[in-house]
Amino acid sequence: MLEALTPNSLRDRLGFAADAAGAPAIGSVAKAARACVHAWRSPARARVTAYLHRQLIAVGFEEELVRSRVAEVIDALIEVGDFTPARLSGKASLVLSRPQWIRIAEGDFAFLGQQDGGSQPTAVTPSFVRRLPAADETADPIDFAGFMGVPGYRRHLARRTSGTGDGRLTEFWSILSSAARHDGQSLDAALLRAVVDPPGSSDGRFGRHNQPQLSGRWKAAAPDGTWCAVRPGRNPNEWHPILVRVAGAEVTSLDLFDWDEWNWALLARGVANGAPERSTWASGTLSFEHPVPAQFMRALRLLGVPGKWAWTWQLTDDAHNAFGHWRDTEL
């Protein structure tokens, strides 16, 4: 007798689940992506993506939600080190990385990569990566700080100073401020869009710079000082990360390397001026009131999943403690 399969029954059979917003749940998509890469041995990313699209659409998920979620999950697995991107036969491909265990807390381990012997541990939490209560007996886990490495701003500091990048976050801001003072280029004050209001203002809303009407902490004028800002590019919605230095009627700008350097500059300015950028922790949700650097994003993708609102992350208490300890110690 043939069994009639509905999208929901097929979803259950294939192991997919929905999150609170009706999108494919991150954990189930990540598990399916790892299964593809494990079974197919270094497949092209396009093949994995197309297969997951077909599966998820067949079980009733909306195509737009499927496309964004699959891309998000594969990007995250590359970023945290579960997958290693490779170019094989001219195609962008994916391989499971070398095995690595990370100790987040007592009884909470993250596992990345290919398990020795070929079997794959089963995740016990709905996160991007596999989380287990214990590591393999033969494993040698690293702690969370070891996974994080040195703070990401040091890479930018090293480039600015042509040195090793050793130095505190306040030194990074000092170097940037000096570069803005000595190397800045004249900027038309009418183009100024800068983060002027302090952390905690505008009810904690950072706001947007790429709208006709600025919002949140963004302003079209700034008092004397050095500020994190943007300048327009050639296209209507193209904006470049900069610092601006305002001295009376004179406004000069310093181009930053990328948005990651801008995000670190914002954190550095807050620490140097005694008004650090803010985040809050409540009921298992970590909420940022500022954009975060790429290194923070890598950590959050290892530790949790995005929350209901932008710039929020759902974490366990132990995961939040691990992240908070690293941040407080290193920054």
Interhelix angle 169-183/153-161, rounded to 10 degrees, is: 40
Helix (H, G, I), strand (E, B) or coil at 135: coil
- pLDDT tier at 240 (50, 70, 90 boundaries)? very high
**pLDDT reading at 4 higher than 80:** no
Instruction: Return d(Cα 323, Cα 321) in angstroms, integer.
Output: 5
Shared-domain flag, residues 106 and 75: no
Of the pLDDT bands very low, low, confident and very high (cuts 50, 70, 90), residue 98 is: very high
Closest listed residue to residue 273, CA positions, set 329, 326, 228, 242: 228
Q: What's the N-to-C CA distance of the chain in angstroms? A: 64
- Domain shared by 14 and 34, yes or no: yes
Q: Indicate whether 112 belongs to any domain.
A: yes
- pLDDT for 285: 97
Q: What is the pLDDT of residues 250-263, one digit of tens each?
A: 999 999 999 999 99
* Residue of 142, 134, 131 lying closest to 314 (CA atoms): 131
Q: Which of 8-22, 90-104, 130-144 has the lowest mean pLDDT?
A: 8-22
Per-residue pLDDT tens over the stretch 151-181: 999 999 999 999 999 999 999 999 999 999 9
Q: What is the pLDDT of residue 115?
A: 79
* Cα separation values, 158 from 169, 176, 265, 267, 269, Å: 12, 12, 14, 17, 18
DSSP β-bridge partners for residue 227: 244
- 104 and 89 assigned to the same domain: no
Q: Rounded CA gap, 331 and 327, in Å?
A: 6
Query: Mean pLDDT, to the nearest integer, of 24-39?
Result: 95
237 plus 183 within the same structural domain: yes
Assess whether 253 and 189 both reside in one domain.
yes
What percent of the chain has pLDDT above 70? 96
Give pLDDT, residue 13. Answer: 87
Q: What predicted TM-score, i.e. pTM, was given to this entire model? A: 0.93
Query: Looking at the structure, do residues 258 and 219 belong to the same domain, yes or no?
Result: yes
Whether 231 and 177 share a structural domain = yes
**Which tokens go with 107?**
């009884």
| Residue-level pLDDT at 179 | 97
> pLDDT band for position 118 (50/70/90)?
very low
Number of domains in the chain: 4
Tell which residue, 169, 181, 155, 158, has the closest CA to residue 277. 169
When pLDDT is averaged across residues 269-277 and rounded to a whole number, the result is 97
> Token match 């601006």: residue?
244
Range of the domain at 222: 153-272
pLDDT tens per residue across span 230-239: 999 988 889 9
- The packing angle between helices 153-161 and 259-272, to 10°, is 90
Question: What is the residue type of 268?
Answer: A
Q: What is the mean pLDDT of residues 139-152?
A: 96
pLDDT on residue 27: 95
Contacts 24+ apart (CB under 8 A), 278-282: 278/199, 278/200, 278/204, 280/204, 281/320, 281/324
| pLDDT of amino acid 122 | 57
Q: What is the pLDDT of residues 298-312, one digit of tens each?
A: 999 999 999 999 999
pLDDT at residue 121 is higher than 60: no
Give the residue-averaged pLDDT of 220-236.
94
pLDDT of the residue at 9? 84
Q: Is 121 helix (H, G, I), strand (E, B) or coil?
A: coil
* Residues 169 and 262 occupy one common structural domain: yes
Closest CA to 254 of 242, 246, 240, 241: 242
In a domain, 63, yes or no: yes
**Strand ranges for the chain from DSSP E:** 83-88, 91-96, 100-105, 108-112, 130-132, 142-143, 185-186, 193-195, 218-219, 225-232, 239-247, 250-255, 279-282, 285-288, 305-306, 312-314
Element at 271 (helix H, strand E): helix 259-272
Q: Which band of pLDDT confidence, cut at 50, 70 and 90, is reported for residue 11?
A: confident
- Element spanning 53, H or E: helix 45-58
pLDDT of 2? 58
- Is residue 1 one of the residues assigned to a domain? no
On whether residue 180 sits in a domain, the answer given is yes
Of 156, 261, 251, residue with least CA distance to 194: 251
Q: In angstroms, how far is CA 51 from the centroid of its own chain? A: 25
Domain boundary among 252, 272, 292: 272
